[in-house]
Amino acid sequence: MKKEPTTERIIVENSQSDQESFVNYLMHVATYKYSLTYVAGKKVLDYGCGSGYGTALISSVCLQIVGVDISSEAINRAETNFNAPNLSYRQVEKAEKAPLPFPDSSFDVVLSFQVIEHVEDVDAYLREIERVLAPDGFVLIATPDRSSRLFSFQKPWNMWHLREYTPSQLHDVLAIYFSGVKVLQTGGRQDVLAVELRRTKRLRWLLLPVTLPFIPEIIRRNALRFIKFMNYNLSRRFRAGAPIRPDFDESAFSISDREEYSVDLLAVAVKKSLQS
């Protein structure tokens, strides 16, 4: 039996099954490519590497890069499909269960893309990033932009997301542990962004009844799980067999502090000095 995908972990070979999946994949690629100027010649930790495609994408410019993930399935897939002499992978525990298996100040740069929204104990997660980051090292954290996905009062309609952030909320939580926090936005070509904005608007309204603030968390999660299961099986029945042939790539996206429409956030910050 084919396992229902979580959609929380990008699998490259599935990314062209439909336009929405492809746009989502390219958003991730654009984020990794944005990080190239930070990781060049550095020791890098990719905290939440998933299937490893992004870790491998930037590995050629890194001095050394380690991809870690809590999923053994993700690490196995990464090790099978994406390798380089300076690249390694390692399964880790959740931040609230165990520290990262690295000494203090091990990395010049820590990347953590599409992870913070899943984390139960955000303080433990950020403390570990701060601990393994060398003095004056950079951390880059990407996460969905709540402002374009949810009503202000709404819980996440993604069943795996515990919380989502506005730019100011992301800034404030990172400023506790890091200095010089800058929160950027992912925007780009309007016709490409429209694919993602239509998707999130549709889900915001359709799933509102089970994502209202007074809905108990167990009901939200179970209701969303059931809806996703039904949608997955229906979409399999009616999905066209041929892959899409898109006429755009990751260059359709831009990351800056002045995007007209934003689908993702990318925070860049520095490890606080001992004097601060």
pLDDT, tens digit, 9 for 90 and up, residues 162-192: 999 999 999 999 999 999 999 999 999 999 9
Question: Strand runs (DSSP E) across the chain, as ranges?
Answer: 43-47, 64-69, 87-91, 107-113, 133-144, 178-188, 253-256, 264-271
In tens, the pLDDT along 185-226 reads 999 999 999 999 999 999 999 999 999 999 999 999 999 999
What mean pLDDT comes out for the span 48-77?
96
Q: Which domains are delineated in the chain?
A: 12-271 (3.40.50.150)
CB 96 within 8 A of CB 124: yes
As a whole number of angstroms, the distance between CA 148 and CA 197 comes to: 7
pTM of the model: 0.90
Residue 233 has pLDDT above 90, yes or no: no
What mean pLDDT comes out for the span 74-88?
95
Average pLDDT, the chain: 90
Three-state DSSP at 52 gives: coil
Share of the chain above pLDDT 70, in %: 88
Residue 241 has pLDDT above 60, yes or no: no
CB 178 within 8 A of CB 270: yes
